[in-house]
């Protein structure tokens, strides 16, 4: 029985899946060297700065857990390469090197669509991307290191982590793919494995933002593209003619705030892409979206920093 992966959904038409695949293929075929990873190292530096500021402890001595490392686990590999004690968990099995037996394992665990995507990506793209990644690490004085044993496969809400306590847990662009009841369970689990002064950083791609519908037209590198778009801005909140090829829980920013505050204290809440899509919010579109505040419509990748509530003495 395949694992409950949220990486694709059956009700999206084959035609739409094919068109999106072509779009991603065009992006991946565009020349890209080590600079394609320039975003990653400032992000890790933000982790370090946030952790050390809130805990007073050294980041290089912390135990980290990534929830949802994905098909391209660049964050966790970069952290491993920097000598950080990190592991990750995901519902989908990773492919570190192409292997027919591994493809069959992914087929059994996650189903045929995930196995096909993984095989194509591994055979066509991963070699060049890994070469560029090695170069990006080398430019910063690191050698690529990846321990397969630290890529855990399972449900973050129920996985048995043993007696390990984590100092920091982070998750990027994942929580929007998790059903609300499961988010509650995962946060409960975080509370049991996080150190008393630990830090949780969760950055969902919030549904109400212009990217929230997960349509290729509105990804960050397509918003300014002059090529005509098939869908309309905030299509998912307006006409909803196209479904994303992934499960989306459709939670607004206010709901994440409510859920997180039930389990942790929200220390910081920051929009990483403020104003993204503002040029598309014409008076006509704004009128259609009158029920949504600007706080929601520009909630593109909101970074929530959480800590355990301090005991009242």
pLDDT at 79: 98
pLDDT at 298: 96
Q: Which of 77-81, 128-132, 212-216, 253-257 has the lowest mean pLDDT?
A: 128-132
Its pTM stands at: 0.86
CA angle in degrees (0–180, nearest 5) for 209-206-266: 125
In this predicted model, what pLDDT tens digit does every residue of 2-49 receive, in sequence order? 345 555 565 566 666 556 655 655 555 555 789 999 999 999 999 999
pLDDT at 121: 62
Q: Is the dihedral of CA 130, 133, 139, 140 positive or negative?
A: negative
For the chain, what percent of residues have pLDDT higher than 70? 79
> Is 50 exceeded by the pLDDT of residue 104?
yes
User: Given pLDDT bands bounded at 50, 70 and 90, which one contains residue 1?
Assistant: very low
pLDDT at 122: 61
The span from the CA of 217 to the CA of 124, in Å, is: 24
Tell me the domain boundaries of the chain.
31-205+246-307
pLDDT at 313: 37
The span from the CA of 161 to the CA of 150, in Å, is: 11
pLDDT at 220: 87
In this predicted model, what pLDDT tens digit does every residue of 134-175 receive, in sequence order? 999 999 999 999 999 999 999 999 999 888 999 999 999 999
Which of 72-76, 129-133, 169-173 ranks highest by mean pLDDT? 169-173
Name the CATH topology of 31-205+246-307.
Rossmann fold (3.40.50)
pLDDT at 2: 39
pLDDT at 93: 73
């Amino acid at each position: 029985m395949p694992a409950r992966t949220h990486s694709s959904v059956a009700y999206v038409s084959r035609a739409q899946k094919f068109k999106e695949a072509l779009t991603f293929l065009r992006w991946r075929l565009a020349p890209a060297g080590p600079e394609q990873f320039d975003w990653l190292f400032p992000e890790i530096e933000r982790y370090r700065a946030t952790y050390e500021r809130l805990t007073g402890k050294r980041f290089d001595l912390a135990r980290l857990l990534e929830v949802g490392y994905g098909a391209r686990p660049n964050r966790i590999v970069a952290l491993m390469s920097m000598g950080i004690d990190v592991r990750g968990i995901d519902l989908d099995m990773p492919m570190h090197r192409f292997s027919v037996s591994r493809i069959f394992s992914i087929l059994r665990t996650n189903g045929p669509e995930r196995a096909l995507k993984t095989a194509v990506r591994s055979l066509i793209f991963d070699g060049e991307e890994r070469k560029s990644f090695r170069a990006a690490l080398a430019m910063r004085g690191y050698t690529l290191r990846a321990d397969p044993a630290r890529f855990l496969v399972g449900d973050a809400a129920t996985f048995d982590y043993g007696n390990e306590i984590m100092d920091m847990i982070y998750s990027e662009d994942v929580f929007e793919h998790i059903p609300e009841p499961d988010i509650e369970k995962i946060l409960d689990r975080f509370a049991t494995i996080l150190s008393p002064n630990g830090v949780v950083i969760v950055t969902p791609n919030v549904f109400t933002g212009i990217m929230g519908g997960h349509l290729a037209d509105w990804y960050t590198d397509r918003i300014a593209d002059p090529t005509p778009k098939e869908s309309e801005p905030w299509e998912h909140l307006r006409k909803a003619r196209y479904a994303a090829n992934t499960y989306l829980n459709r939670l607004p920013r206010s709901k994440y705030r409510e859920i997180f505050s039930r389990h942790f204290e929200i220390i910081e809440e920051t929009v990483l892409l403020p104003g993204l899509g503002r040029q598309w919010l014409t008076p006509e579109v704004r009128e259609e979206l009158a029920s949504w505040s600007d706080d929601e419509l520009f909630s593109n990748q909101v970074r929530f920093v959480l800590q355990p509530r301090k005991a009242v003495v």
